[in-house]
Structure 1
Amino acid sequence: MRKWLPLTAVCLGAFMLLVDVTIVTVALPDMAADMHTSFAGLQWVMDVYALALAALLLGAGSLADRIGRRRVYLGGLAVFAAASLACGLATGPAALIAFRAVQGVGGAAMFATTMALLSSAYQGRDRGVAFGVWGAVNGAAAATGPIIGGLLTEHFGWRWIFFINLPVCALAVWVTLRAVAESRNPHATGLDLPGMAAFTAGAGALTYALIRVGENGWTSAATLGLLGLAAAAFAAFVLVELRSSRPMLDLALFRSPNFVAVMAGGLLLSGAAFSYLMYVSLWLQSAEGMGPVRAGLVLVPMSLAAFTVSAVAGRLLHGAPARLSIGGGLLLIGVGALLQAWMLDAGDGWTALVPGLVLTGIGVGMATPPLAATAMAAVAPARAGMAGGALNTARQLGNALGIAVLGVVFHAGLVSGLGGQPREAADVLASGGAGHLLAAAPAAREWVEAAFASGLRETFLASGVMGLVGALVVVLLIRRPAAVAPVPARAASAAAATGPAERASV
């Protein structure tokens, strides 16, 4: 059994990484109450982690190829553990957000190296078994994350969602040191530090502008300045990549319509399917009075549907054109969000969401495996690693931007549903204050429910549009009807079910 110790080391890190993100979703209301943070603060707790992953994934992979994948993986585990401890000890929202960003740095180092470590540790049939187990563990992490997070938050407090990472990190480090051999790419080139800096600046400025637009307005100097900074940074990124001898992302890949479709599909899939979950959790716990465990259970049907369907789709959709499987999956994601918008009215409970969540999960399970395979097939074999990293980056960025965009929509919907209540009441509801408000004034329940129903409906509508646009882009751009190479079913299921925390390209 010693030969499976490298798989154990990699799976421990991946499980922790994915559980940590889904844990945070159900813990947000308790964080808000404990730290008295604002709506923007809640968004940043989720967003800054995804931004760090999106910005550093490609760079971390390049660094690992150059100095050693095991070394970078161990460094990621150490950074992740230290940041988890700091998150658990944080005394204010600013510190928590900052340490979440550091967590993202460690997560990017782990996430960028797991598949390379498995590829170097196993060959032939053992490699297939390893990737299958790895995929199943990732899928299980996504499905059980909300429940684990709910149990820890409800019985021990939200800080334990971070403290629990420490023993897991220690075990992963021990197994990695004992069983994982070092590997690197002897032909690896240097790091594209200017490209990484430009991309990070652009993504951060754009996300910050979208998070602040609810307070500043679209035409304010602050919003326009941040949007201008984002545009300038992304333009600089393009120039750097075009002129660099060792670009972080070879822009020539975008000459392939299939690759463009995959990047757009991955970005919009994450934004449409996962970004609204934090607002659903906020409603379930602050307005509906659910504990974290029950709120986590409400979100499980989507993860289970994605996990199950992706495992089946790998076999049933083998030979199907990628444009239909990816486009059809995005279509189901969009329809699932629209179904939730249609079924939810003021006074309705969580059951109104379940059909739409399941339909969305089916769409995720249907679209994700061929997304990864199409990304690989759209480029030359020498660029397969870069293509996979680019897809993961697009999906992380889609999650981060989705949370920010839907936050604007959600807050505007709350305001429109307030009736005669003051606009400031929307800020109270968005910051998780509905429970305290209802405890002090039970008669407010009618307008609180109306406001949340309005906010969530608008959010689901925006998510539905993202899904439908993604389906249209994929169908129009992926022109070749030929089937793509299938992804191992269990490994693909991990990518489908992981939700916002990120999906691994396989």
Structure 2
Amino acid sequence: MDIRLGSATGRWVVLTTVLGSSMALLDSTVVNVALPHIGEDLGADMAALQWTVNAYMLTLAGLILLGGALGDRYGRRKVFVLGVVWFALASLLCGLAPNAGVLIAARALQGVGGALLTPGSLAIIQASFHPEDRARAVGLWSGFGGVGAAVGPFVGGWLVDGPGWRWVFLLNVPLAALCVPVALRHVPESRDPSAHGRFDALGALLGAGALALVTYGLIGELWWAGVLGVLLAVAFVLYERRVADPMLPLSLFSSRQFSAVNLVTLCVYAAFGGFFFLAALQLQVVSGYSALAAGTALLPTTVLMLLLSARSGELGARIGPRVPLTVGPLLCAAGMLLMLRAGEHASYVRDVLPGLLVLGLGMVTLVAPLTATVLSSVDTARAGVASGINNAAARAAGLVAVAALPLLAGMGPEAYRSAEEFGATFRRAMPMCAGVLVVGALIAWAAVRRAPAEDACHPECRVNCAVGSPPLEPDAARAPAVDDARNGDAGPSGPGDRSDL
């Protein structure tokens, strides 16, 4: 299709995709701020708070590649609308949840909806717009997504301190009520005519099951669940090697660059996932901030991403990814260590802001080159699958980190109710996050090499959703390849995934 961006239909398409992706993005960025209030209201322990975050990431990470394939086969608008409706109904259930168990189950259902809607939001733009307008449309989508990432923690804090934490989820219902009619009326249907073969549903179930068991084992401290998860992961890899149309084409990892960048991704987003989960709690439980103040306090990282990521991408294109992917994690590690100053009665300007500024500069340095390097490390025809794998890896890393970090730091089930206990475990957790980032920097320095000169930064690299999720829909970079617009996602960005903040 050749819709022009300046037309009324073009503006409606952009609005629809922004609304849809914003639902998943806002949910990724605001829930961490609400956790202490959720725990107090529902009488939940620390494990329940971990599952409140991880249930969503688990189903999203496990099913997002399948969601992209469904859109290609049955129609991107159809699957996108289905995802929006599903997400809204699950959000309503979250908002009405009478106890932690129902909330966790509803969060898992939200992740299913997110896996249906997020790949489609950008694929619709790719398939709908005239080739001359696609880059500008992606830029608009990215820009509005960045605004959503920036205001998400602030909105979340305002809702928690005002009408209550349930409105963090209920807010999605009116957004969906606006998005669905616009999509049905103004967004053209598109599908990939070359889509063929069977869906790798068993692969998706094996992958999600492995993540679920490993996460369950870490949060519940059950060794047998962790062992079963590892065994299921081995079965997943063996199955993917044999199936005709695998969800995870293992041949991609024959590229040293692709393998190295995904290892860096695992390290970086594991640290980000653990940090942002604990930092929002630390500022409220230990430093005494309100939910609004805690959400606002974390804004500098996203603001820096919005202001400087485009220039960082241009610099990475000139000098190659090795230096940015080495220096960026080291800056992030330094920022997390500086956050050790954020204890009781912490001054924001003196104790909190310096760490967040250094962390933000590190994110600026690494996120755009990371996304661009993933795309340049494989053939253009396989960039969609590659970016989807990288996005899923980022979410899986955050998922495991949120499960493992409290255990490794010795955080008890009631830790968030005690400023002294939580502060002590936070001080043990931050060096661990920094250490993982240093490992990522060493991998980048040793294994990442300069990408081809023609692989410049792409519009979506300007947006970071790392605060709550990985880069949004990294496959956006392939604007000219309409039929390949699949398997990507929008976090964290979550960092703008450029992976739901």
TM over 0.5: yes
Pair 1:211 & 2:211 matched? no
CA contact (8 A) 1:319 1:484 kept: no
CA contact (8 A) 1:326 1:367 kept: yes
Q: Could you tell me how far apart the structure 1 residues matched to 2:330 and 2:344 are?
A: 27
Structure 2: unaligned runs, 5 residues or longer: 1-6, 477-501
1:112 alignment counterpart: 119
1:503 alignment counterpart: 471
CA contact (8 A) 2:336 2:430 kept: yes
CA contact (8 A) 1:139 1:498 kept: no
Q: Could you tell me how far apart the structure 2 residues matched to 1:344 and 1:180 are?
A: 47
Q: Could you tell me how far apart the structure 2 residues matched to 1:269 and 1:5 are?
A: 36
Structure 1: unaligned runs, 5 residues or longer: 214-221, 415-425, 435-447
Q: Could you tell me how far apart the structure 2 residues matched to 1:241 and 1:151 are?
A: 45
Q: Which residue identity does 2:448 align to in structure 1?
A: I
Pair 1:33 & 2:40 matched? yes
2:484 alignment counterpart: none
Rate the CA distance shift 1:105–1:502 in 2: closer, same or farther, 3 A. Answer: farther
2:71 alignment counterpart: 64
1:137 alignment counterpart: 144
CA contact (8 A) 1:147 1:296 kept: yes
Rate the CA distance shift 1:500–1:345 in 2: closer, same or farther, 3 A. Answer: closer
Query: Rg bigger for which structure?
Result: 1
Pairwise CA RMSD = 1.7
Q: Which residue identity does 1:94 align to in structure 2?
A: G
Pair 1:74 & 2:81 matched? yes
Give a deviation string over 1:276-330, Cα, whole Å, max 9, x none: 2222222222333322111111111112122222122123333121111222212
1:438 alignment counterpart: none
- Between 116-125 and 229-238, the greater mean CA deviation after superposition: 116-125
CA contact (8 A) 2:275 2:336 kept: no
Mapping for residues 227-266 of structure 1, pairs under 5 Å: 227-266=226-265
Give a deviation string over 1:13-35, Cα, whole Å, max 9, x none: 11121111111111111100100
Q: Which residue identity does 2:415 align to in structure 1?
A: L
Rate the CA distance shift 1:235–1:308 in 2: closer, same or farther, 3 A. Answer: same
Query: Partner of 1:113: helix, strand, or coil?
Result: helix
CA contact (8 A) 2:320 2:449 kept: no
Query: Partner of 1:289: helix, strand, or coil?
Result: coil
CA contact (8 A) 1:396 1:500 kept: no
2:405 alignment counterpart: 406
Rate the CA distance shift 1:333–1:317 in 2: closer, same or farther, 3 A. Answer: same
1:493 alignment counterpart: 462
Q: Could you tell me how far apart the structure 1 residues matched to 2:152 and 2:348 are?
A: 19
CA contact (8 A) 1:55 1:199 kept: yes
Q: Which residue identity does 1:466 align to in structure 2?
A: V
Mapping for residues 149-188 of structure 1, pairs under 5 Å: 149-188=156-195
2:4 alignment counterpart: none
CA contact (8 A) 1:273 1:364 kept: no
CA contact (8 A) 1:86 1:99 kept: yes
- Between 355-364 and 3-12, the greater mean CA deviation after superposition: 355-364
Match for residue 463 of structure 1 among 419, 433, 449:
433
- Superposition deviation, residue 460 in structure 1: 0.9
Percentage identity across aligned positions?
A: 34
Match for residue 428 of structure 1 among 382, 403, 414:
414
Q: Which residue identity does 1:376 align to in structure 2?
A: L
1:217 alignment counterpart: none
CA contact (8 A) 1:17 1:501 kept: no
1:216 alignment counterpart: none
CA contact (8 A) 2:317 2:369 kept: no
Pair 1:375 & 2:343 matched? no
TM-score, normalised by the number of residues in structure 1: 0.88
Q: Could you tell me how far apart the structure 1 residues matched to 2:32 and 2:272 are?
A: 14
TM-score, normalised by the number of residues in structure 2: 0.89
CA contact (8 A) 1:285 1:291 kept: yes
Q: Which residue identity does 1:472 align to in structure 2?
A: L
- Superposition deviation, residue 482 in structure 1: 4.6
Pair 1:453 & 2:423 matched? yes
